[in-house]
A and B are shown apart, each in its own frame.
Chain A
């Protein structure tokens, strides 16, 4: 790759292949979510059937996450001059019909599409409520291009930003542009990317590194994986731009091992980029060299923390250390190192190409741009949502998510994963940005957004997150290692029905101490879910400790079994009860002796009349 002209020639050719001028382009969502819903046989069937019928003007493209998990497997058909058609819940049988009707005869199979729109217009995903308030920047190419084909990426301006940076800008100009854009790190802390780069650039060193943090540890978030699976080149391009800006010639992508599809696609992407000369020596004919290596994590949440991540790449136990020195001064093997999150990086090429004003035109003054959230939990539309910063939680949950499942009442939404907190109804109108979420007692985190309804017990949820952090604490500092464990024991005691009011005070005191004294942000934020649930749902805690009752009927030890009028006296339950707690005469309603009941649930499983309830 010698210069921008050569890239443009490549592009001209790639665009021809990418834009269908006659015939169809058929894309199949093949991210992990699609594959697990059964996209592989769908893709195979499509290939088989079109080949068998000898249809030649059809491009079949496996692509990344289209975004709406509940409709997977999704197949979209693009036709020049027409709106795309979205087929949902596809399977091989449906494929046969789509091939013979739509691709062969030009008649879309209406009953498999996402639904009919107004007039004779077929609805596609773009018309769906879920997408209306979204703004796809980071996810723009996911679901559009073939992630395993670099030409697709080149066709949609891929590597133009790198070409521009390397051939037309100085490293300082790149950094200034990033600063002007106001991009803040999407990995959790929200630190200015341009500032961070400038620190590393200012350090003189024989070797510097740039690391892409793809450890994605939040147990309820998967946007980074989607970007890597759907648009891996954007991350490579951004790393090269970052490398150019700070003077690094080597990059590492630290990916969690649980993401085999992402790793596979990254490997392909790196190979292709090397082949084309976007990575390697003398990129675009300049004297800038840059190479990228993949390193796999091995299942440790703490390795998302930058200093622990560095230790892990160095081949050690992933334990964090005190900062300063910050990695920008002393990082990997003691050299200046920049660590950026996947989503942060995915923004970079677009900012370089479209300029800081464009980026600032989205989002809020202090948090420009968009943010991707993994919307999940008790909500109708689960999936990845990319929204401009500043949108309210209410819009995300009600307009995009379309309300709680089964008409249940909304209780809270948890953001920031195990480091964040829950947000209740009163704060739903808060515009989402880094600072506002902190102000209402939660945080942005990496973008997990889990909706909870009346059936979720908040004490149990707090216990869930704490259980996670206890498991994941690296064990280096005492407050985090021992303190979180003690907190978990208290929560266990409460959910088992043995808690006291005093326990709540101890919990809060411990939480404050752990926050103030832990070594890294893992421990410093671990108590947040507990503190925030105590703050907003103290009454639930009190119900557990004083009334020995779980209002949401989740905590097993606090539930009781009852037999209702639906009982026919069949005696089946009597026979399975291990403690002989059930008594009654044949053909009459039975009763459970609460003192003898050990709450094993055997009677409920045995009852064929749904006459046994738990509350």
Chain B
């Protein structure tokens, strides 16, 4: 199991590595699998710590420098752990022109962290997202899978966040 410190000092006992290994074996013969393996690893582990990158590197024969290059190029990959709840504030154009920045400012103020950061208690991570596809509800914020639209009045935000603190 994963230790509290977040590192996997004992990875042979961590089932997640076996799951990742099984995935790698299933795609090993296809071309261009680096991205798909990283994506699967991120799904399994939630992020891509160095240990995991090393493990992938050993198993698919791609240098770790290259993996790191890919992991940091694409915004979907995270190399630090994310909070329990993911807050995505839409900064798509439609939301932006309808005041998404105010939503962002309010959430940032409430949680006292910056965009892309995680609260100390590990509860929330704030991210700016692109169009979530519900422009009709602009400005829009997503917490995990829940969509909150028409946030013209940002005063409702503290109450929304509170729901996830319970």
- A residues contacting B by CB (< 8 A) are 31-33, 36-37, 68-70, 72, 217-222, 225, 257-258, 295-300, 312-318, 333, 374, 376-378, 382-383, 414, 417, 448, 450-452, 456, 461, 464-465, 474
- For A220, give its contact among B70, B77, B92 (CB under 8 Å): B92
Q: A36-B137, A70-B136 are in contact. Are A315 and B33 (CB under 8 A)?
A: yes
Q: Which chain A residue shows the least CB distance to B93? A: A220
Is B97 in contact with A36, judged by CB distance below 8 angstroms? Answer: no
Inter-chain contacts of A451 with B (CB < 8 A): 97
| A378 CA / B130 CA spacing, docked (Å) | 18
12 intermolecular pairs with C-beta atoms under 8 Å apart: A33-B134, A37-B134, A220-B92, A257-B76, A295-B32, A295-B36, A299-B75, A300-B73, A312-B35, A316-B70, A450-B93, A464-B93
> Size class of B's contact patch?
35 or more
Whether B61 sits at the interface, judged by CB under 8 Å, is no
Is A220 in contact with B137, judged by CB distance below 8 angstroms? Answer: no
Encode B52-92 as 1/0 by CB contact (under 8 A) with A.
00000000000000000110011111000000000000011
Is A377 in contact with B98, judged by CB distance below 8 angstroms? Answer: yes
List the 6 shortest-distance A-B pairs measured between CB atoms, nearest first. A69-B136, A220-B93, A376-B94, A315-B34, A298-B74, A36-B147
Is A377 in contact with B97, judged by CB distance below 8 angstroms? Answer: yes
Q: A317-B73, A461-B96, A465-B93 are in contact. List 8 more A-B contacts (CB 8 A).
A: A31-B133, A69-B135, A217-B130, A258-B132, A298-B74, A299-B75, A317-B74, A450-B97
- For B77, give its contact among A298, A314, A377 (CB under 8 Å): A298
Inter-chain contacts of B129 with A (CB < 8 A): 258
Is B91 in contact with A219, judged by CB distance below 8 angstroms? Answer: yes
Q: How far is the CB of A510 from chain B (nearest CB, A)?
A: 23
| A72 CA / B149 CA spacing, docked (Å) | 12
Is A298 in contact with B34, judged by CB distance below 8 angstroms? Answer: no
Is B75 in contact with A298, judged by CB distance below 8 angstroms? Answer: yes
Inter-chain contacts of B147 with A (CB < 8 A): 36-37
Whether B39 sits at the interface, judged by CB under 8 Å, is yes
Q: How far is the CB of B15 from chain A (nearest CB, A)?
A: 24
Q: Which chain A residue shows the least CB distance to B75? A: A299
| A300 CA / B130 CA spacing, docked (Å) | 11
From B69, B134, B137, name the one whose CB has the most chain A CB atoms within 10 angstroms.
Answer: B134
From A225, A376, A417, name the one whose CB has the most chain B CB atoms within 10 angstroms.
Answer: A376
Whether B131 sits at the interface, judged by CB under 8 Å, is yes
Q: Which chain A residue shows the least CB distance to B69? A: A317
| A54 CA / B137 CA spacing, docked (Å) | 36
Q: A219-B91, A450-B97 are in contact. Are A376 and B74 (CB under 8 A)?
A: no
- For A298, give its contact among B31, B39, B91, B135 (CB under 8 Å): B39
Q: A219-B93, A314-B32 are in contact. Are A32 and B133 (CB under 8 A)?
A: yes
Whether B20 sits at the interface, judged by CB under 8 Å, is no
Tell me the residues in window 114-166 of chain B with beta carbons closer than 8 Å to chain A beta carbons: 129-138, 140, 147, 149
Q: A222-B135, A258-B129, A298-B76 are in contact. Are A315 and B35 (CB under 8 A)?
A: yes
Is B73 in contact with A318, judged by CB distance below 8 angstroms? Answer: yes
| A333 CA / B30 CA spacing, docked (Å) | 12
Q: How far is the CB of B73 from chain A (nearest CB, A)?
A: 4
Inter-chain contacts of A220 with B (CB < 8 A): 92-94, 131, 135
Q: Which chain A residue shows the least CB distance to B38? A: A298
Is B93 in contact with A448, judged by CB distance below 8 angstroms? Answer: yes
Is B136 in contact with A72, judged by CB distance below 8 angstroms? Answer: yes
Inter-chain contacts of B135 with A (CB < 8 A): 69, 220, 222, 374, 376, 382
Q: How far is the CB of A561 from chain B (nearest CB, A)?
A: 16
Inter-chain contacts of B149 with A (CB < 8 A): 36-37
Q: How far is the CB of B75 from chain A (nearest CB, A)?
A: 4
Inter-chain contacts of B70 with A (CB < 8 A): 315-317
Is A221 in contact with B131, judged by CB distance below 8 angstroms? Answer: yes
From A36, A37, A378, A414, name the one whose CB has the most chain B CB atoms within 10 angstroms.
Answer: A36
Is A33 in contact with B93, judged by CB distance below 8 angstroms? Answer: no
Q: Which chain A residue shows the least CB distance to B147? A: A36
Inter-chain contacts of A317 with B (CB < 8 A): 69-70, 73-74
- For B75, give its contact among A300, A383, A461 (CB under 8 Å): A300
